[in-house]
Amino acid sequence: MSLIDVAIQSAGYEQKKEIIKDIDFSIEKGELVGLIGPNGAGKSTTIKSLLGLIEHIEGKISYIEDLNYSYLPERPIFYDELTLWEHLDFVAAVEGLEEKQYKQKANELLNQYKLWDYAHENPTKYSKGMQQKAMLILAMITNPFLYIIDEPFMGLDPNAMKLFLESIEMERNRGAGILMSTHVLDTAEKICDRFLIIHNGHLVAKGTLDDIRGLCQLPDGSLYDCFHLLAEDNESE
């Protein structure tokens, strides 16, 4: 059974003003699905629809029972008054995590991501990349079955990028599914199992890279080549 089944007929921010239309997909256990599209295509709106944050929506979004998911927003969000450790304690309390286990995992993650020395500081004062890392740690601490990640690579240095890729690989091996929106197509091409290509609020292609190559009639094309063709084709319509 899929972790999530999405069948959005239409969704938008105002009545009768649809931003996305006919978006259908599912995410299986252990799968990494890339949500790709130009600026303003409707990626964040799709993500917000999954999170129940869109008021005007028609369609059906079904999750497996008891699914716990973590959402990583494009721009990190922190409480002004709390240190990173206090954020971790807060998430642990809300999620009812067992103290010894979560503290051990938090320590490991803080060490791996080199935030240990800063864990008693307020993340709003961190650099952009450090904030991304802090958000990722907060997401991973709950052992979610599904990650919904909006543009994770912004601000990450090469070491942090490598660590991030290793972390998501580890989470996939644990069985977690991941929906990741990104503009970094060469990385997406290497790591994603499947792609959803969205343009002007429509799903213009979905499937594996080979499926999309087939659709574009570019048997050796890169994800970027296919993306370029699909976006151009649709712009001239």
Residues lying near ligand ATP in the complex (CB under 6 A) are found at 13, 19, 37, 39-45
In the complex, what is the shortest distance from the CB of residue 214 to ligand ATP, in angstroms, rounded to a whole number? 25
Closest CB 6 distance from ligand ATP, rounded Å: 15
Per DSSP, which regions of the chain are E strands?
4-12, 20-27, 32-36, 56-63, 69-72, 146-150, 177-181, 194-199, 202-207
Sign, Cα dihedral of 186, 170, 153, 21: positive
Q: Please, what is the minimum distance in Å from the beta carbon of residue 14 to ligand ATP?
A: 7
Minimum CB distance to ligand ATP smaller for 142 or for 152:
152
Q: Whose Cβ is closer to ligand ATP: residue 146's or residue 231's?
A: 231
CB of 156 to ligand ATP, least distance (A): 17
Burial code (b: 16+ CB inside 10 Å, e: under 16) for 116-135 equals eebbeebbeebeebbbbbbb
Three-state secondary structure call for residue 50 = helix
| Residue (22 or 99) nearer to ligand ATP, CB | 22
Query: Judged by CB, which is closer to ligand ATP: 37, or 113?
Result: 37
